[in-house]
Amino acid sequence: MNRDFIYSGSPAHIVFGQGKSAAAGEWVEKLGCSRALMLATPQQKADAEAMAARLGPLAVGVFAGAVMHTPVDVTEAAMKVVAETKADCVVSLGGGSTTGLGKAIAYRTDLPQIVIPTTYAGSEVTPILGQTEGGRKTTLRHASILPEVVIYDPALTTGLPVGMSVTSGLNAMAHAVEALYAQDRNPISSLMAVEGLRAFKASLPDIIKTPPALDLRADALYGAWLCGTVLGTVGMALHHKICHTLGGTFDTPHADTHAIMLPHTAAYNAVAVPELLAPVARVFGGSVGGGLWDFAKEIGAPLALKGLGLTEVDLDHTAEIATENPYWNPRSIDRKSIRALLQDAWEGKRPA
């Protein structure tokens, strides 16, 4: 077996545990800062204001304008607040949208970031920023984008609605599945990916029955950290290419798109790399694609792209874009095969 690999550890501080978000102020000071700007979406404004009140004089303001896909005009509005308040760090409280805004500010200013994630998207542990301008989404990777401190506090995720918990969990799992066959995978990324999948298998079916259960939320958040970390360290392939194409072209909801596509892209690639995806079948049972689809169905995830309002003509367009300039993938890609895969996902079929 070829054991050559490169492993680079992330320099970020990861703080995990119930109630640990109360230590946000200590982390502001440990970073050598004293003027934190709180970031949130409009929906989580009250939570951000409460956190700012807890930070006391360490907080200089709240900008609650974060939205999906990090539009540049929102970042520019936030940059004005950064300048007005003379903020020397940002504290992002929320999901991938809020984290994206904090990263966009850090990319422009090199201000340190503390992220307190409240979904399972995983953006907080990646040096990747996707931003949109004029209807176009571009993605970049830079050391300044990686948040310095991440505080995972399960208590802040007990209110994540069940539907979002499910799709956000499957979004995270998609990072882990693609990490298993990544061209630049390494033994640590593969261990983390399998452990992340196990954490979601152990928690999501019970979270839908008892959403506020803290121990289950802790397991899922642990899975989110593991899956996000592998997203940040190894390359993604066909699955992420299709989801970026669908999200970028048709504005489909991020987590739902990942949730629907995952069993189909995994089944497609399992043909080429069965031994690398065998751990997925071991965790979820059955075949790789079938096991993931059964799990998604069991936890009430959306299963069909047509439920997101896409038409069959949109599938033609997606197959064209996704195969024009593809990411590296373990199985060769052609327009006809990808169109067939999209048809199955559109209809919500269980992969063979």
Taking CA atoms, 307 is separated from 157, 234, 252, 270, 346, in Å, by 26, 31, 10, 26, 8
Q: Are 90 and 106 in contact (CB under 8 A)?
A: yes
- As given in the structure block, the two tokens for residue 170 are 């499957």
Q: Does 97 bind ligand NAD (CB under 6 A)?
A: yes
Of 67 and 81, which has the nearer Cβ to ligand NAD?
Answer: 67
Q: Does 118 bind ligand NAD (CB under 6 A)?
A: yes
- Tell me which residues in 208-237 interact with ligand NAD (CB under 6 A): 231
Of 172 and 281, which has the nearer Cβ to ligand NAD?
Answer: 172
- Tell me which residues in 283-312 interact with ligand NAD (CB under 6 A): none
Q: Does 95 bind ligand NAD (CB under 6 A)?
A: yes
CA distance 18 to 22: 9
Q: Are 206 and 298 in contact (CB under 8 A)?
A: no
Position among 21, 41, 131, 257 found at the interface with ligand NAD (CB under 6 A): 41
Position among 12, 33, 37, 44 found at the interface with ligand NAD (CB under 6 A): 44
For the bound state, the minimum distance from the C-beta of residue 258 to ligand NAD, rounded and expressed in Å, comes to 9
Identity at 26, one-letter amino acid code: E
Position among 199, 255, 281, 342 found at the interface with ligand NAD (CB under 6 A): 255
Q: Does 245 bind ligand NAD (CB under 6 A)?
A: no
- As given in the structure block, the two tokens for residue 188 are 């640590």
Size of the site for ligand NAD (CB under 6 A): 28
Q: How many CB atoms lie within 10 A of CB 67?
A: 14
Of 36 and 166, which has the nearer Cβ to ligand NAD?
Answer: 166
For the bound state, the minimum distance from the C-beta of residue 94 to ligand NAD, rounded and expressed in Å, comes to 5
CA angle (336 as vertex; 331, 340 as ends), nearest 5: 90
Q: Does 123 bind ligand NAD (CB under 6 A)?
A: yes
Give the binding range for ligand NAD (CB under 6 A) out of 81-89, 124-132, 200-208, 330-338: 124-132
Strands (E), the chain: 13-16, 36-39, 59-63, 89-94, 113-117, 128-133, 136-141, 149-152
Does residue 286 sit in helix, strand or coil?
Answer: coil
- Kindly report the backbone phi and psi dihedral angles of residue 41, in degrees, each rounded to the nearest multiple of 5, phi listed first: -85, 165
Position among 31, 121, 173, 315 found at the interface with ligand NAD (CB under 6 A): 121
Of 68 and 304, which has the nearer Cβ to ligand NAD?
Answer: 68
- Tell me which residues in 72-91 interact with ligand NAD (CB under 6 A): none
Query: What residue number has its CB nearest to ligand NAD?
Result: 96
Of 87 and 246, which has the nearer Cβ to ligand NAD?
Answer: 246
- Look at the chain and count its residues: 352
Of 51 and 231, which has the nearer Cβ to ligand NAD?
Answer: 231
List of residues 6+ apart from 122 with CB closer than 8 A = 96, 171, 172, 175, 224, 225, 227, 228, 229, 231, 232
For the bound state, the minimum distance from the C-beta of residue 181 to ligand NAD, rounded and expressed in Å, comes to 19
Residue among 77, 72, 76 at smallest CA distance from 132: 72
Q: Does 168 bind ligand NAD (CB under 6 A)?
A: yes
Binding site for ligand NAD (CB under 6 A): 41, 43-44, 68-69, 94-98, 100, 118-119, 121-123, 126, 128-130, 157, 159-160, 164, 168, 231, 254-255
